[in-house]
Structure 1
Amino acid sequence: MVDWVAVVLAKKELTYGVDSVPTVGANGILTRNYSAKPVDLDRIERNLDQRVFGALASVPSNERRTTSYEVEIAGSGEAGTAPGWMELLEACGLAAPVLTADTDAVQQFALPGVDATSISQYDYMSDQRRKAVGMVGSFTMDFTAGAYPFIGFNWLGMIPAATPFDKSAPGAVDLTRWLQPVEVNTDNSDFLLDGYAPALRSWRADAGVTTAMRNLVGKRYVRRGNHSFTSTAVIEAPDIATKNYIQSLRAGSLVNWALDHGTVAGNILGLASEKVQITDITESNEDDTLMWTLAMTHTVEGGTADLVITAR
């Protein structure tokens, strides 16, 4: 019997697909809702004509690893030092954070043509170790009132040739770089859409990063391609005379958007987009209050960044 005790280590690779050897002392990830397949693969079917009924054996092909988990969103504890989750976001298409000492760490999606970042990941189920290299992924974000904010990661990577599965207990894992987040609420959080601050129930985003296993003759790797950052905000519907989001929807307007969270230096996060387009409004009832779910696309119109993350 193997106990369900999950430990995840992840480290940025210097060379794509070359094991960066994450360690328990420096690369532990404080996860929740961990899920994985030991091996994910395709099967080659032969589809031969035969003189009896029944299934033929298939052949396994294109081995890979898929994992997913969530991490809480909090700062590093020191302004100007990047939180641990920013390294994970690099493997989802964001550039390395730009650090300003004692001030902030700023991160946004990398431009096309920039060498893709990847991670090596060791994940343990009790004392059973599984390895993956060349891992890239996509992510979601969730800021819901009355809860801690978090990022959800979905990873795709290759299985290395050397000891991909073995018996090796991780030992004590240092997780001190993962601070406790603060609750999403009126005291800690501010939300602005087109210069107006609606009452916010939740904001959820999907980076929409495309990933695919490329299995060719002479080359095998995980391709990370384009992304499309979209989000939904559930708000109390404002008086139309105060803020007319219906008109913004009808006109296809591009508006600014910002979400700030946290109050203490070293644990403050800012998210911002200059040109967001409201693409749909759905109405619902909550406690006899009219609620709107606004669907939004964070655009790169005019060369602006679709997402800027600032940890300060």
Structure 2
Amino acid sequence: MTKLFRKKIVLFKMEDTYGVDPNPTGAANAILTKDFKFMPMEGNDVNRDLEQPYMGSQGTVATELHAKITFDVELSPSGTAGTAPAWGPLLRACAMAETIVAGTSVTYNPVSDGHESATLYFGLDGTKYVTHGALGNVTFMVEASGVPYLKFEFTGLFTEPTEIAMDTPVLTAFKKPQVVTKANTTFDLNGIALILRKLSLNAGNSVDTSFLIGEEAVDITDKEEAVEFTVKAVALTTFDPYAAALSDDDLPLTLVHGTTAGRIATLEIPNLEIQRPSSLEDVNGKVEWPLRAQALPTSGNDQWTLTLT
């Protein structure tokens, strides 16, 4: 019987103990994804290198088996201030803390210790794939006239798939996103309201696997946030990216998307180090600056915050 690629179900739940299945359900843990890609059996094929009196393949042994998963999720808050979004667990599994102030806000920020892991179920037309001990990386993507996205890449431990039906996903917690427009979105750098075309913040997590005697695990061992954004060029007396790249000063960046309570997402980077501008761009005859930067910590784990209000 033909398997249909469009019949996908994705469930995701935080683990209480690393690698132990928390049994996600369709009612509570379904994820609404875009561009979902699943590589269920990554690893290495070790050649046996046997000595034989004739030529020919000798076979291999599969080792260090793990899964890779990539997908996008729309960056849309829960609709209620102080209620975590349905995609909150995804950020937590990317080495981020979640702080909830009831009725007011939900804030995410990077953390260096106590990283949480998750289990992911992927159902593909009756075939169930399970990945335990998953941790990952995320990139925040905002572009004018488009939907803001969170681009995820997870690595988890391999288990053999089975042919079994999965729960029906309940996706009502995922709210319709707002398009990035002048009316919905504001941006400023060092207090200057520059005209923004697009911005990305890559959390920069280093995700590594460990396959040793007594341990099979995925770890986040380091992080280095990278920021890229493109703005319309202005007079250097208004903002000078070249002077900023030469200066020791770090600049605050703020992007606010959404205008109504429960639907507002605010990305703040207190200390943005502008790097060398690499080029100039001609966009319909207008000059734009593609800029690169790093988000630097002050006292630690404060490189950036994403606050939903």
CA distance in structure 2 between the aligned counterparts of 1:280 and 1:199, rounded to whole angstroms: 20
Matched-pair contact (CA < 8 Å) for 1:7–1:123? yes
CA gap of 1:21–1:304, structure 2 versus 1, over 3 A, is closer
Deviation at 1:140, TM superposition (A): 1.0
Number of residue pairs the alignment of both structures matches: 306
TM superposition score normalised by structure 1: 0.94
For structure 1, the 5+ residue unaligned runs are none
CA distance in structure 1 between the aligned counterparts of 2:47 and 2:37, rounded to whole angstroms: 28
CA distance in structure 1 between the aligned counterparts of 2:233 and 2:197, rounded to whole angstroms: 11
Deviation at 1:40, TM superposition (A): 1.6
CA distance in structure 1 between the aligned counterparts of 2:204 and 2:301, rounded to whole angstroms: 18
Deviation at 1:213, TM superposition (A): 1.2
Seq. identity, %: 26
Matched-pair contact (CA < 8 Å) for 1:275–1:304? no
* Correspondence 1:183 to 2:179: yes
Matched-pair contact (CA < 8 Å) for 1:271–1:309? yes
TM superposition score normalised by structure 2: 0.95
- Which of 212, 226, 237 is matched with 1:230 structurally? 226
Matched-pair contact (CA < 8 Å) for 1:274–1:304? no
Amino acid at match of 1:250: L
- Quote the residue 2:266 is aligned against: 270
Amino acid at match of 1:45: N
For structure 2, the 5+ residue unaligned runs are none
CA distance in structure 2 between the aligned counterparts of 1:73 and 1:212, rounded to whole angstroms: 26
CA distance in structure 2 between the aligned counterparts of 1:279 and 1:253, rounded to whole angstroms: 12
Q: Deviation digits for residues 109-167 of structure 1, max 9, x if unmatched?
A: 11x3x32201111001111110011100011111000100000111111124xxx4112
CA distance in structure 2 between the aligned counterparts of 1:262 and 1:236, rounded to whole angstroms: 22
CA distance in structure 1 between the aligned counterparts of 2:13 and 2:269, rounded to whole angstroms: 29
- Quote the residue 2:110 is aligned against: 109
* Correspondence 1:283 to 2:276: no
Taking the TM superposition and a 5 Å limit, the aligned residue runs for 1:52-67 are 52-67=54-69
- Which of 178, 190, 197 is matched with 2:193 structurally? 197
Amino acid at match of 2:202: D
* Correspondence 1:135 to 2:137: no
Describe the SS at the equivalent of 1:98: strand
After TM superposition, the structure 1 stretch with the greater mean CA deviation from structure 2, 168-177 or 202-211, is 168-177
- Which of 282, 290, 294 is matched with 2:291 structurally? 294
CA gap of 1:303–1:122, structure 2 versus 1, over 3 A, is closer
CA distance in structure 1 between the aligned counterparts of 2:195 and 2:252, rounded to whole angstroms: 17
Matched-pair contact (CA < 8 Å) for 1:252–1:279? no
Q: How large is the Cα RMSD of the aligned pairs?
A: 1.4
